[in-house]
Amino acid sequence: MSEDDYDDEVELLDIELERSRSDVAASLRAIADELEAGDSLTIAVGDENVTVEPPGETLEYEVELEREPTDEGDEIELELELEWIVDRSDAETADDGSDESEDGDDAPGVHGEDADNISVE
């Protein structure tokens, strides 16, 4: 696989749902537990899930908190973003060949049910 095959970003999961505060907290706890343990990180929302290789010891962590006035009151938006690099050679070695993006390119470090063909509207 050439370097050019990695130029395009692949969106693995993009879902926006309304959930109870306790459901959201439980999801965040599960992610935090996997992150702390160094296990593969599985993001499960509804019937969809994607598993990616875990980050190393350090990763980029971004927090964004916004307040936007609306007719009904102020809308608060909290975004938590984590970024890390997955070594392509390790990801490709672990890949069984079943995880390919919609255009046929491998999605290194991505595993699981519908990991590369998720579209939820």
| Secondary structure (DSSP) of the chain | --GGGGSS------------HHHHHHHHHHHHHHHHHTPPEEEEETTEEEEEPPP-S--EEEEEEEEEEETTEEEEEEEEEEE----HHHHHHH--S--B-TTS-B-TTEESTTTT-----
Domain that holds residue 19: 3-55+89-111
Mean pLDDT of the chain: 77
Question: Is 64 a member of any domain?
Answer: no
Question: Is 81 a member of any domain?
Answer: no
Overall number of domains in the chain: 1
Question: Is 51 a member of any domain?
Answer: yes
Band of residue 53 on the pLDDT scale cut at 50, 70, 90:
very high
Question: Is 43 a member of any domain?
Answer: yes
Q: Determine what percent of the chain is predicted with pLDDT higher than 90.
A: 48
